[in-house]
Structure 1
Amino acid sequence: MKLRSIAGMCVFVYLWRDRWRQRNQLVSKTWPYFGNLFEMRTNAARLYDWVYEYMSKSPTGTVEVSIGTLRAIMVGRPDIVEHILKTRFNNYIKARAMSHEILGTGILNADGDVWKQHRKLASYEFSSIKLREVSTEAYRELALRLLTFLDTVADSHKQVDIQDLFLRMTMDAFCKIGFGVDQHTLSPDLPEAKFANAFDKLAELSIQLSNRSVLNNDKHDLLSRFLSSKDQNGEPLSDKVLRDATVNFLLAGRDTTALTLGWFMYLLSCNPEVAQKGTRNFSNFANSLTFDALGKLHYIHATLSESLRLYPPIPWDGKFAVDDDVLPDGTIVKRGEVVVYVQYAMGRMELLWGPDASQFRPERWLKDNVYQPESPFKFSAFQAGPRICLGKDTAYLQMKMTAALLIRFFRIQVVPNQDVAYRVSLVLAIRDGLQVTVQRR
């Protein structure tokens, strides 16, 4: 019994001394072995905000988060982001352990020759004028389908989950552009979305489509391009490769766009003056739903970028170090350690965006009413370096068309007294959806 008491006292003294040594630290304090476990459990529902607060207290913006023997280096300086995404690109590979079961070896999660193969095929498609034409037409059709649905909601005076509608719309749009089929999930009776709740069902879709005559050279959807491609040995791509490709492009093309639109509507509801200014800017837009007309919507482009700054669809991303390295701020990275750049935190840092960083202010993106892009290493919602998102322009295309039409024809108000918070997940979704009411303008 005495030995237990002595051992317990020794442990207490050790822990107390360790915490005492950390008493003047600006960053979050840790426990021996357990590291940040207790703080992370306490802040589990607001994890990204906890990381932001943690990083904000660090003079360099770089912090270490550890649980047991696991250690992650969280970074938020643009020069460090450039270091890992461009300068030392080959030394930092995807953190596959975090998402391999979902993403497999698709473009979002692959490295080396597999990534190059996916990238080459996708680059060809995204650069084609035909895909741009197909995308513009699909986005126009689906945006108008959404407007038709909201028009019936306005008549019924019912509440509706606008995030769910955006997810349905982008699902239908992506299936048309990516696979050449229309799932009609955004129809009046809101049927169960066939693929929305289980990514692995896309494998079945890939196989079904490959068994049909989709290897037609006249096809311009992304899957047809993959189906007509060969691997390094000259063989058709396997079902697993097709499954991984479709899941990756679905995640990149569906969830990220829809979730950005959801946060966009939430921020507009909280900032009605922005919506009013948007209405004035877009009053003549409805008669010209063309690619060129969308390119002139500088204010809405700025508004969407401001939404992405505060609520990036991918809140953070990690890379494993292939070899030992030293980051620009002097942080030592050992081989096998993970470095995570935290987009959610970067978008809120006053050091990067000024004292009004927490405010929703689209004007920060404009000069003489013309949109001014930021460095992708500062605003990394679409990645940066060799992995910069191929679908960035098409994502903005769909978001601008949808947002402009909604602002032009409807007043959308967030239902009061609902808890609008994010879900801690692979993507930054509104946890319980976003209930809104709809009125015609």
Structure 2
Amino acid sequence: MEYYSEASSWLHFMYTTFCFFFFAFTFFFSVFAFLVFILRLRPCCDCDVCRSYLSGSWKMEFDNLSDWYTHLLRKSPSRTIHVHVLGNIITANPENVEYMLKTRFDNYPKGKPFSAILGDLLGRGIFNVDGDSWKFQRKMASLELGSVSIRTFAFEIVTSEIKNRLIPLMSSIAGRSEAILDLQDVLRRFSFDNICRFSFGLDPGCLQLSLPMSEFAEAFDLASKLSAERAMTASPLIWKMKRLLNIGSERKLKEAIKMVDELAHELIKQRRTAGFSTQRDLLSRFMCSVSDDQYLRDIVISFLLAGRDTVASALTSFFWLLSQHPEVVSAIREESDRIMGQTEEQASFEQMREMHYLQASVYESMRLFPPIQFDSKFSLQEDVLPDGTFVRKGTRVTFHPYAMGRMEKAWGPDCLEFKPERWLKNGEFMAENPFKYPVFQAGPRVCLGKEMAVVQMKSVALALVRRFDIQDAVPSRAQRFAPGLTATVRGGFQVRVHERRQHQ
């Protein structure tokens, strides 16, 4: 027994010592990596921008980093700034955006730094690759998403989800005087149900009245969040070392991705066994052209990420703006009543095409609050942007749709106002130059799902605006965004819901 006790104590001592040195090593390595990162970039930069970024002093005046960047870009004569400590050139100049996304497209790929950040989650999916792999997926996706049958399928799913889940859920809350609903959470659930049914033929049922949360949705959300957090570390060496040691956030990310992988591969296996040639979902369509199951998983997960968070983000900001502008709500209702009458039926695709003011409202909302606030590329070779900015090889160059929508030079002195009328000419919707309004990107990488996303937004907006009055429960609060791949409101969007009188 004495021998056993001594051996046990010795093992405990060794284990404790190992843990101490392990965590000490991890801590000092992180500090070292941070210092190396700063020194490697700009060891002596003491400009106002870098000093404010490193000290965080910008937070004293601005709610969001994007608002601070907007302020700096508005002051810049070229609408381009340098954040030296990040090795980042940020621009809100449409000529620069066109140059990056179209004229010199080949010189500004997503690049290896971006691909590494999202590589574990997206793999070789279309949003995480360049070159031949991107061209192959782009061509395949263009053929599928451009077909009438797939668009009809997508519209049927949206219509069904609105009628059978979204409206009943909102009705169950309406009229309860003390009830407050997180509309952002509801819209994220709605979007997740839709994109899962469209991509996989899987219905997670997140928007049922009990508001259940599926394990897949939780794992997918966590994987997206933790992948985005990699981009905020002081140096990629930090998260790469944590991944190597399988500790902290990287361990959680690995577990979340494992759950996503297991479900995706099980769905692919089942679909191959049952047959896919007669199915209408995206996975089944891609299976006709791709035999590599891992590649299939990467492709569909990429569409899942893009289709879920962007639509939910855009709709959240849309309803936040409507809560502050009742005159826009009235105009949408008047237009829809003129085209649809007083029916409680949902609008058809053809009817929505006639609603120019609704289209203008959706686009105006995304001008002020784009779902993806900024996007970065990495220069393959030295270059000079149209505004004269010199770009070193390997430099990160970011175009900033959030800031671009707030540029007085582009949108006029009323650029901070929510005015759908700016998109109308003689009562008809008129699109803007996509390089002035790169909400859906532009050039060769323009969003293939753009039209389906807009139809989904208009369908939800119209269904809820015609039936409910939605009021911000905290009307004086500004939107503050949580770090992530898309614009997510920190703390959600709390609302009170009331059914309109003619619908009671």
Q: Paired residues, what number?
A: 407
Structure 1 pair 420–143 and aligned structure 2 pair: CA distance change class (3 A) = same
2:482 corresponds in structure 1 to 423
Cα distance in 1, alignment partners of residues 63 and 327 from structure 2: 31
- Report if the CA contact (8 A) 1:65-1:72 is conserved: yes
Q: Confirm or deny that 1:148 pairs with 2:164.
A: no
Q: Confirm or deny that 1:406 pairs with 2:464.
A: yes
Q: Structure 1 residue 37: deviation in Å?
A: 1.9
Q: Confirm or deny that 1:223 pairs with 2:299.
A: no
Q: Confirm or deny that 1:306 pairs with 2:364.
A: yes
Cα distance in 1, alignment partners of residues 58 and 67 from structure 2: 13
- Report if the CA contact (8 A) 1:289-1:401 is conserved: yes
1:62 to 54, 76, 80: 80
Cα distance in 1, alignment partners of residues 450 and 358 from structure 2: 15
Structure 1 pair 311–177 and aligned structure 2 pair: CA distance change class (3 A) = same
1:138 corresponds in structure 2 to 157
**What SS class does the counterpart of residue 487 from structure 2 fall into?**
coil
The one-character-per-residue Cα deviations of 1:137-166 (angstroms, maximum 9, x if unpaired) are 111111222011101111434111111111
- Report if the CA contact (8 A) 1:36-1:66 is conserved: no
- Segments ≥4 residues shifted beyond 6 Å: none
Structure 1 gap ranges (5+): 1-16, 23-27, 231-235
Q: Structure 1 residue 42: deviation in Å?
A: 4.2
**What SS class does the counterpart of residue 394 from structure 1 fall into?**
helix
1:249 corresponds in structure 2 to 303
Instruction: Give % identity.
Output: 40
2:200 to 169, 179, 183: 179
**What SS class does the counterpart of residue 271 from structure 2 fall into?**
coil
Q: Structure 1 residue 41: deviation in Å?
A: 7.0
1:343 corresponds in structure 2 to 401
- Report if the CA contact (8 A) 1:84-1:92 is conserved: yes
Output the TM-score relative to the length of structure 2: 0.77
Q: Structure 1 residue 289: deviation in Å?
A: 2.6
Show the 5 A alignment for 1:184-223.
Answer: 184-199=205-220, 200=257, 201-214=259-272, 215-223=275-283
1:11 corresponds in structure 2 to none
Q: Confirm or deny that 1:73 pairs with 2:132.
A: no
2:453 corresponds in structure 1 to 395
Structure 2 gap ranges (5+): 1-43, 221-256
Cα distance in 1, alignment partners of residues 395 and 148 from structure 2: 42
**What SS class does the counterpart of residue 437 from structure 1 fall into?**
strand
Q: Structure 1 residue 218: deviation in Å?
A: 1.1
2:118 corresponds in structure 1 to 100
Structure 1 pair 96–86 and aligned structure 2 pair: CA distance change class (3 A) = same
Cα distance in 1, alignment partners of residues 79 and 440 from structure 2: 21
Q: Structure 1 residue 96: deviation in Å?
A: 4.4
The one-character-per-residue Cα deviations of 1:296-338 (angstroms, maximum 9, x if unpaired) are 1211111111110011111100000111111001111111111
Q: Structure 1 residue 95: deviation in Å?
A: 4.1
Please tell me the residue identity of whatever aligns with 1:159. I
Cα distance in 2, alignment partners of residues 42 and 360 from structure 1: 25
Cα distance in 1, alignment partners of residues 59 and 357 from structure 2: 40
Structure 1 pair 59–149 and aligned structure 2 pair: CA distance change class (3 A) = same
Q: Structure 1 residue 169: deviation in Å?
A: 0.7
Structure 1 pair 361–107 and aligned structure 2 pair: CA distance change class (3 A) = same
**Worse overlay, 420-429 or 184-193:** 420-429
Q: Confirm or deny that 1:120 pairs with 2:162.
A: no
Q: Confirm or deny that 1:361 pairs with 2:419.
A: yes
Cα distance in 1, alignment partners of residues 370 and 54 from structure 2: 25
Cα distance in 2, alignment partners of residues 165 and 216 from structure 1: 31
**What SS class does the counterpart of residue 397 from structure 2 fall into?**
strand
**Worse overlay, 136-145 or 102-111:** 102-111
Q: Confirm or deny that 1:237 pairs with 2:302.
A: no
CA RMSD in angstroms comes to 2.0
1:372 to 417, 430, 442: 430
Q: Which has the larger radius of gyration?
A: 2
Structure 1 pair 213–108 and aligned structure 2 pair: CA distance change class (3 A) = closer
Please tell me the residue identity of whatever aligns with 1:151. S
2:246 corresponds in structure 1 to none
1:275 corresponds in structure 2 to 329
The one-character-per-residue Cα deviations of 1:378-437 (angstroms, maximum 9, x if unpaired) are 111101000000000000111001101111010000102556322232110111111111
1:8 corresponds in structure 2 to none
The one-character-per-residue Cα deviations of 1:37-82 (angstroms, maximum 9, x if unpaired) are 2247747951101111111111100110122xx4111011111101
Cα distance in 1, alignment partners of residues 94 and 477 from structure 2: 35
Structure 1 pair 242–216 and aligned structure 2 pair: CA distance change class (3 A) = closer
Cα distance in 1, alignment partners of residues 309 and 49 from structure 2: 35
Cα distance in 1, alignment partners of residues 268 and 301 from structure 2: 16
- Report if the CA contact (8 A) 1:45-1:423 is conserved: no
* Structure having the larger proportion of residues in helix: 2
Output the TM-score relative to the length of structure 1: 0.88
2:21 corresponds in structure 1 to none
Please tell me the residue identity of whatever aligns with 2:187. F
Please tell me the residue identity of whatever aligns with 2:384. V
Please tell me the residue identity of whatever aligns with 1:115. W
